A and B are shown apart, each in its own frame.
Chain A
Amino acid sequence: MTDQNSSLSHLDLETPEKPFLDANELVINMGPQHPATHGVLRVILRLDGEKVLGLECVIGYLHRGVEKIGEHRTYTMFNPYVDRMDYVAAVSNGLGYCETVEKLLNVEAPPRAQYVRVILTELNRIASHQLWLGTHALDIGAITPLFYTFRDREEILKIYEKYCGARLTTHAFRIGGLQYETYAGFEKDVKNFLDFFRPKIDEYEELLTTNRIWVERTKNVGNISAQDCIALGVTGPVLRASGVKWDLRKAQPYANYKNFDFDIPIGQNGDTYDRYLVRMAEMRQSVRIVQQAVYALPEGPIMAKVPKVMKPPVGEVYHSIEAPKGELGYFIVSDGSTQPYRVRVRPPSFVNLQALDVMCRGQLVADVIAVIGTLDIVLGEVDR
């Protein structure tokens, strides 16, 4: 059904003067089914031997029409749908959505709920980065980190399961706060996890950071400058590794990130190695935040007073959070009824994926795999 030629039109296949297969040029399809594309991503590569001259991403294989669905569900009913977009970091998605609707309703979650939200979101950041590290290393050829990170990630997923019953698509937050009080032993579990996890980051670093093969495969691969990042709208660790010290948790704090003390790691060269170092450092900073939060967890209510039937006043609001992948934004238009008039999700992976072309020019085919991995995209979010 898809017209093949239209998606390759920019590659000049129809122009009669140019030979179809120029002696030096090869068009290769890295199809939607591919072990290293992190989902159903299709990349059409134009190669000169092994060197990449240009590429085009074809996406939409996982498009589920979440924004259209949003117009037909009430605000609370839509909450579980947002987990399924970035299914790796579902808790962050939920946080962004709940906070946006809370802005529309003009309520604020009570302090205890904010602390628990921060704890769960930062644990989610660690889990997401662990998955990223395992799969990224696997794509490049290092198989061991996958097992280490997935094994350690289990501890976080166990906490989620004890808290809300689900490991991945958690639906952890509600509009106005939390639904479930933390289970008995929650704080102990989190503290145990922190003690368990700190040496693990060192373990991952020991495997990779000074590993000659890793360094050769990731240094100067997929370079992108800070200007390009800003022009393309790239955010998250990719932006920070190019040297821009910007994190929404510091620039426009949400939840109660103002109460915590943490740093923003940045890189210098904007290559894959720097993005690796930035994410490793972010994991450490997340541990720091969770440490502060769990020791300062106050008592109190966990749900603000929100009406059972939510009818936010007419208006539109845009709110974004620093998801593990970048700036995740929600733009919700309310027409005063129980269902949103328009829900727009601004997915970080969608915008970051535009940078793939810029980052892969002049690199080798094997580097394309490394760059897709380093962008940390989740197709559920790209396509929604």
Chain B
Amino acid sequence: MPDEIKSPPSPPPEGDPKPTADQTTVPGGVKATASGSVQSDPKSQAEKPVPSPSSPVPAKPATTAPAAPAKVAAPAKPAAPTPTPWDSPLVAKLRSSYGSGIEPLTYAGQNYMVVDRSLIPEILQVLRNQEQFDYCVDITAVHYPKREKQFDVLWILYSYARNERIRVTTQIRDGESIPSSVPIWTGANWLEREVYDMFGIKFDGHPDMKRILLPDGWKGHPLRKDYDILQQDNEWVQINLGIESGQ
């Protein structure tokens, strides 16, 4: 049933007068994603740029040659968006002090900086004291086991005065610890405890470095990619029942 609406001769309706009850149809104006399953859409689809709220997103080739409808294979997909360099007065100031230690980028309209681990407490201090990023929204980490520097630790900061949000990311090795930002933002306390709890990343100088969500005696750090989700169950069954878990 959706198919019959898929080939309107007219350009994609903007605020279609038909109060259609069919939820699955009709373009809302979306950029074709990399998945390619939108290939059979009317040609005009691929060309209409979405009124995306993130204007700095590079207008990726949405002007790609429209999918020839006869082709079954994926048409020329628009290249997936990639992070692009970010430039602003803030970046210029930081660049002049830190030069190559920082790499400012922007993706999907969101600005972030990948900084060297050696810069860590200093650049956060500068961001808070001089650039007025006084609200530490979140501190979290991501684990990439195949990379040499396995962990991505990131701070999401917001400035009330500038109404601006940035992310500061750094990369560390397994076993490496990182200076705590509790002296900078008091609210970092529990956030860092949670990162320690889930990833095992220790923060030097934290007043109370211990687990927060899991019981104190827990072994392992669950959000690491090498922590199997069924691990406890299989272990428990093995120990207590002496059989192989059926999972």
Contacts and interface: CB of A to CB of B under 8 A. Distances in A.
Interface of A: 1-3, 6-7, 10, 59-60, 63, 65, 67-69, 72, 103-111, 113, 176-181, 228, 230-234, 244, 246, 251-252, 298-318, 320, 327, 329, 331, 333, 336, 341-342, 344, 346, 350-351, 353-354, 383-384
6 contacts: A109-B28, A231-B186, A232-B186, A234-B187, A301-B16, A304-B29
Interface in B187-228: 187-191, 194, 198, 208, 210-217, 222-223, 227
Contact of B83 (A176, A304, A315): A315
Interface string B154-193: 0010001001010100000000000000000111111100
Contacts, number: 192
Contacts of B216: 2-3, 6-7
Interface centre among A10, A106, A244 (most CB of B within 10 A): A106
A140 B82 CA distance: 53
Given A331-B140, A354-B186, 20 more contacts: A2-B215, A65-B222, A106-B54, A107-B50, A109-B28, A110-B29, A233-B191, A234-B187, A299-B19, A302-B23, A304-B28, A305-B41, A307-B37, A308-B37, A318-B137, A329-B138, A346-B156, A350-B194, A354-B189, A354-B190
Nearest to A342: B142
A310 B30 CA distance: 13
A230 B210 contact: no
Interface residue SS majority, chain B:
loop
A233 B136 contact: yes
Interface residues of B, number: 70
Contacts of B134: 230-231
Given A179-B23, A315-B107, A252 B33 contact: no
Contact of B35 (A59, A67, A228, A311): A311
B28 A107 contact: yes
Nearest to B51: A108
B161 to A, nearest CB: 11
Contacts of B52: 106, 108
B1 to A, nearest CB: 14
Nearest to A3: B216
The 10 closest A-B pairs by CB, nearest first: A304-B28, A233-B187, A313-B80, A60-B213, A232-B187, A110-B28, A299-B19, A107-B30, A301-B26, A346-B138
Interface string B2-31: 000000000000011101110111111111
Contact of B217 (A1, A304, A320, A342): A1
Contacts of A306: 30
A111 B29 CA distance: 11
Contacts of A351: 187, 190-191
Contact of B163 (A2, A63, A180, A252): A252
Contact of B210 (A6, A72, A181, A244): A6
A69 B222 CA distance: 11
Nearest to A317: B108
Contacts of B20: 300-301
Nearest to A103: B108
Contacts of B19: 299-300
Interface of B: 15-17, 19-21, 23-31, 33-35, 37-38, 41, 45, 50-54, 57, 80-83, 107-108, 110, 134-138, 140, 142-143, 156, 160, 163, 165, 167, 185-191, 194, 198, 208, 210-217, 222-223, 227, 229
A346 B137 contact: yes
A312 B31 CA distance: 12
Nearest to A105: B33
Contacts of B27: 301, 304-305
Contacts of B198: 67
A108 B28 contact: yes
Most buried by A among B15, B82, B214: B15
Nearest to B83: A315
Scoring A68, A180, A305, A308 by chain B CB atoms within 10 A of each residue's CB, the highest score goes to A305
A135 B45 CA distance: 51
B187 A301 contact: no
A346 B52 CA distance: 24
A310 B160 contact: no
Given A308-B37, A313-B34, A106 B50 contact: yes
A336 B143 CA distance: 16
B33 A106 contact: yes
B244 to A, nearest CB: 21
A340 to B, nearest CB: 11
Contacts of B57: 106
Contacts of B188: 233
A68 B229 CA distance: 8
A230 B137 contact: no
B140 A344 contact: yes
Contacts of B26: 301, 305
A302 B165 CA distance: 30
